[in-house]
Structure 1
Amino acid sequence: MLIRRQNMDPVFTLATDLDGTFLGGSEMERQSLYNWIEMHRSVVELIFVTGRDLPFIEGACAEGIMPWPDFVVGDVGTTIAVHDWNTNRLTPDDALEAPIAALWGDGVADIQDHLDAAPGVEPQDVVFRHRMSYHYDPEHFDPATQKVIEAAGFDCLISDNRFLDILPKGVSKGPSLLRLLEARGRARDAVLVAGDTLNDLSLFETGLKGVAVGNSERGLLEKIAGRENVHVAQYHGAGGVLEAIDSFGFADTVARAIETEMEVPA
């Protein structure tokens, strides 16, 4: 087993969406990416930036479906959590989440009756902390519902043409990731973001180097067209992430770090 020296920063941070991205691609591509990360954990940092909640991530990691992350920006940016490597628990960072909780307040209580009666949206069967998420049916959705949500002071995010998220104003994956990176003192040019749907758009809007994997939805590709910081991959999911790690030179950066003995036995 290898560990990161506690007095040194990682030389590369992968901040990745899960569904369709880190969990996408073929089994061989996923294992290639996961094994590469685990082989270089002393110098590679892993952050999940996802719509998934902490219990889902803990369960998937405990089952060995994917590697444990160092940090999680979950619930579409409304949760920021730290992984305790001793207990394998993901714990929300109260200080980093404080501005998010303040913006959310009592949530959607004032417009709950409207949402309950709104066509084309069905609440997801999950308890969320600082957001509400719905299954979205574009054929029956009334655009007036989005206006009600925004008039109440929230952001309304529709992604993959099947999900609708109600978020605190100005909160999403990108801004929350930047808050975490700043708190940890991470160099922006050592970070790669990865995603595949419109709820990942804010990751690419940060200006960080990014990859839209080969199976990305058309709406996302239209929004990021012409962005020099974004690599549009040919390979799907994990294969696209590996493609970008190589394309941006991060594989070489990690290899040089290993060669200079930044890694030590645990």
Structure 2
Amino acid sequence: MSAAVTHMLATDLDGTLVGDAKGLKHLINYYKNLPYEVSLVYITGRHLESAISLIKSEQLPTPKLLVTDVGTSIYQGSNMEQDLEWKQKMKKDWYPRQIREAAKDFPQIKPQQLPDDRRVSFTIEERENEHIVEEFKKALDAEQIPHNFIFSSGRDIDILPAGSGKGEALRFIAGKFADGDTSILVAGDSGNDLEMLTLGYPSVIVANARQELLEVKENANLYRATKTCAGGIHEAWKYFYG
């Protein structure tokens, strides 16, 4: 991203950019016909291989930047070169083994199988067990384990390095690759998008968003789309940037 970035779409993938093939096609064609380039930044909970697989299967444009594992890794360009500055930041004060040990006291919480330790993730299936999630969080706090705790979609628990998450990753990207004149739109559909949707940039919550985003406080830079997925992004882009 050596050239000046004038416009940027920072979007979640599943349920946001991806999920409505017709709306996605219209959005991509709309961007192709604009008189300026929209730099695409994909910010996903998927790990790298899974994200690349989705990009290929959905025939998504190659992004300028790909952020994976709920904001714990950043990759640039078609060769997906990892941002080493962010990588070093994510390694500081990160204790995945201690997090897994703490989770053993909560049998209702099931570990997710991931290819590496960039994050530690779990699922909890029964909605009535959500109080267990709060107890787990309190246990991590009591043991003074540095972390960022994200519970989303009523089932997904992501434990990330402190100072990480989709919001902090986007803040880092905006500081490194954009400037105060860059027009940015942020798009999401679930709780793990909340941090980036509330940074203060123009943002869209797509119509198919999870309940946790329906409760977000209204503000002038927040647009609630009437269309789902990419159709909602298209709607919001025209609202903010004409």
Deviation at 1:135, TM superposition (A): 1.5
Q: Report whether the alignment pairs 1:215 with 2:208.
A: yes
- Per-residue Cα deviation, 1:206-263 (whole angstroms, up to 9, x for no partner): 10110000011121121x22222110111011110000010002xx4xxxxxxxxxxx
Does the Cα contact within 8 Å between 1:23 and 1:237 map onto a contact in 2? yes
- Per-residue Cα deviation, 1:85-142 (whole angstroms, up to 9, x for no partner): xxxx3221111222122132xx222242331342322112222342111122333352
Deviation at 1:8, TM superposition (A): 3.8
Change beyond 3 A, Cα 1:244–1:92: same
Give the unaligned 5+ runs of structure 2: none
Q: Report whether the alignment pairs 1:114 with 2:102.
A: yes
Change beyond 3 A, Cα 1:124–1:35: farther
Equivalent position of 2:17 in the other structure = 22
Deviation at 1:37, TM superposition (A): 3.4
- Per-residue Cα deviation, 1:148-186 (whole angstroms, up to 9, x for no partner): 123322222100101000011232111111111211133
Change beyond 3 A, Cα 1:91–1:31: same
Alignment partners' CA distance in 1, 2:108 and 2:228: 30
Q: Report whether the alignment pairs 1:44 with 2:32.
A: no
| Amino acid aligned to 1:126 | L
Equivalent position of 1:71 in the other structure = 65
Please say which structure displays the higher CA radius of gyration.
1
Q: Report whether the alignment pairs 1:185 with 2:178.
A: yes
| Amino acid aligned to 1:54 | L
Alignment partners' CA distance in 2, 1:110 and 1:206: 30
- 1:196 alignment partner, one of 167, 174, 189: 189
Equivalent position of 1:246 in the other structure = 238
Q: Report whether the alignment pairs 1:12 with 2:7.
A: yes
Does the Cα contact within 8 Å between 1:209 and 1:230 map onto a contact in 2? yes
Change beyond 3 A, Cα 1:101–1:39: farther
Alignment partners' CA distance in 1, 2:97 and 2:181: 38
Alignment partners' CA distance in 2, 1:119 and 1:21: 32
Q: Report whether the alignment pairs 1:175 with 2:168.
A: yes
User: TM-score of the superposition, structure 2-length normalised?
Assistant: 0.89
Alignment partners' CA distance in 2, 1:147 and 1:115: 11
Deviation at 1:7, TM superposition (A): 6.5
Change beyond 3 A, Cα 1:241–1:218: same
| Identity across the alignment (%) | 29
Q: Report whether the alignment pairs 1:149 with 2:140.
A: yes
Alignment partners' CA distance in 2, 1:186 and 1:7: 13
Does the Cα contact within 8 Å between 1:71 and 1:80 map onto a contact in 2? yes
Q: How does 1:72-151 map to 2 (within 5 A)?
A: 72-84=66-78, 89-104=79-94, 107-137=95-125, 138-140=127-129, 142=132, 143-151=134-142
Change beyond 3 A, Cα 1:27–1:110: closer
SS of the aligned residue for 1:176 comes to helix
Does the Cα contact within 8 Å between 1:131 and 1:167 map onto a contact in 2? yes
Give the unaligned 5+ runs of structure 1: 1-5, 253-266
SS of the aligned residue for 2:93 comes to helix
Change beyond 3 A, Cα 1:35–1:16: same
